[in-house]
Amino acid sequence: MVWWLMSAYNPFMPFALGMAGVSDEQDKQITSSASAPAQAHMHSLAQHGLQACCVWSEGEGFHHFSDNWTKVTGQMPSDCMSNHWEESMHPDSRREFDLALADLFSPDPCETIDHVTIECQIARGDGYWSWQQLTLIPMPAHHQRSVSVLVCDITQQRQLQDTAAAALRESAHATQSRASFLSSMSHELRTPLNAILGFAQMLEGPAKMEPQQALEYLTYIRESGEDLLTKINDLIEISNIDAHCAKLHEEPLNLCDIIHASLEMSSHTAFARSVSIAQDIQVPQLVLQGDRAKLIHIINHLLTNAIRHSAIGESVHIRANASMRDGLFLSIQDKGCGIAPGQLRNIQQALQARQPYYSTDIGNVGLGLSIAKEFAELHGGRLTIESVAQHGTIVTMQLPPARILSLSARVKPKAKKELA
């Protein structure tokens, strides 16, 4: 141990003697005669465990480092001599260190402080930042302003604190997002429900109505009912995903069969808007392992969304390509109004979030895209969006190579059971 640990200037002199083999009775006498600060810091040393130590004096800076200095601080004593150790501190920590010295040596006799403990962010010798707890103890018997500096590495504790604080912030954000989400969804559900009730009441009215107008009202009721059913199904899917209950029911599937099933589900919407759907499937015999219902849900949503954002008479393109090295790429492109840069960033950030369906920034995109993203990730894949305002949008689903069973085989779709 360094010389000053056994000197008269050392406030831990009783502790050092006790460690050196002094008898228990002598140790009690020495300890009882020690100053209150020394006793307090002896308890601190025992409480905090392994600590390095050095001396700081006004004229010499840092000097007389303990043998374990490098082990605790990650720096060589030769690199910390003079004021070099302070120079490795973060600017905020450096200011806090200077303020601590000013408090210890305050000329006001009413403000006598026996020690100061601060936490400093200091660069280690390996280039990484660490958190060090510094306990500064004045050495009044010294011929110049000096302090004993006890150093304890608290990097791990700070990381745990930061992790806990981040988890708390995330929990608060999730709670707020859920509240906003439920408030928004209550409005989304009321809109089609009010339309259903309103048109139904008009059909029940006493006034005589033309058959054509009645048929039009019935069409509105049907469309609003379908919209309401879609939103309720989305809420059920979101509930399952949020509760980690969404699971894959995997089986070998033919890509073209999945695409054709999705086209059938989107055909009514495409016909109503006179939108044609062009296919460019480079791997028509591709067989993949996956959940049929969830993959159809992804493709159907992306198709329906592209059709709705296309102008009347436009076309939507669905393309698919794959290799055993890169996996499957299935993209759906429309030539609609596209997405403004600001909203596109919001959508991309929402899709990168852990719970994109609680984002309130994606506006009229709806829950479908978030569910599609979750289903793609359940398959080990991902969704990406590219869009230019007034030039259309491309949404791509990528599945990993592990999902591809064959590029050339064919799996027959399951035959529908005949009704008795």
List domains and CATH numbers for the chain: 3-153 (3.30.450.20), 157-246 (1.10.287.130), 249-412 (3.30.565.10)
- Closest alpha carbon to 320 in 365, 233, 388, 257: 257
Query: CA-CA distances (angstroms) from residue 287 to 27, 32, 254, 256, 310?
Result: 81, 83, 5, 9, 31
Instruction: Quickly count helices (H) and strands (E) in the chain.
Output: 13, 13
Q: Among 402, 351, 407, 395, which Cα is nearest to 380's?
A: 402
Angstrom CA distances, 319 to 278, 279, 299, 315, 394, stand at 8, 6, 11, 13, 10
Amino acid at 387: S
List pLDDT tens digits, range 101-151.
988 888 776 667 788 999 999 998 777 899 999 999 988 765 678 999 999
Q: Percentage of the chain with pLDDT > 90? A: 38
Q: Can you tell me which residue has the tokens 């501190």?
A: 89
Q: What is the pLDDT of residue 353?
A: 61
Could you tell me what percent of the chain has a pLDDT over 70?
77
Confidence of residue 44 (pLDDT cuts 50, 70, 90): very low
The whole-number average pLDDT for the span 166-184 is 76
> 202: Cβ–Cβ under 8 A, 6 or more apart, which residues?
209, 217
Q: How many CB atoms lie within 10 A of CB 297?
A: 20
User: What CA–CA distance (Å, rounded) separates 208 from 210?
Assistant: 7
Degrees to nearest 5, angle at CA 42 with 36 and 48: 135
Q: Which residue has the higher pLDDT, 420 or 205?
A: 205
DSSP 8-state assignment for residue 360: S
Calculate the CA dihedral of residues 250, 256, 260, 261 and round it to 10 degrees. Answer: -10
* Secondary structure letter of residue 337 according to DSSP: S
| DSSP notation for 170-225 | HHHHHHHHHHHHHHHHHHHHHHHHHHHHHHHHHHHSSS---HHHHHHHHHHHHHHH
CA 332/CA 12 separation, integer angstroms: 74
Please give the average per-residue pLDDT across 159-174, as a whole number: 86
Please check the confidence at residue 49 and state whether its pLDDT lies above 60. Answer: no
Q: Phi then psi for 46, rounded to 5 degrees?
A: -70, -35
* pLDDT digit string, tens, across residues 388-415: 888 889 999 999 999 999 988 766 655 5
Q: Is the pLDDT score of 5 beyond 60?
A: no
Torsion angles phi and psi, residue 339, rounded to 5: -125, 135
Question: What is the torsion angle, in degrees rounded to the nearest 10, for the CA atoms of residue 239, residue 240, residue 245 and residue 247?
Answer: -160
d(C-alpha 300, C-alpha 292), whole Å: 12
pLDDT of residue 232: 86
Which whole-number Å values give the CA distances from 87 to 103, 121, 306, in the listed order? 20, 11, 59
Phi, psi (rounded to 5 degrees) for 121: -95, 120
Residue 378 tokens read as 């359940």
What was the pLDDT predicted at 331? 95
| Alpha helices per DSSP H over 243-291 | 255-272
Helices (H), ranges, 279-326: 292-308
Continuous H helices in 74-154: 77-80, 84-87, 91-104
Q: What is the mean pLDDT of residues 229-245?
A: 80
Question: From the CB of residue 288, how many other CB atoms can be counted at a distance below 10 Å?
Answer: 25
State mean pLDDT over 166-187: 75
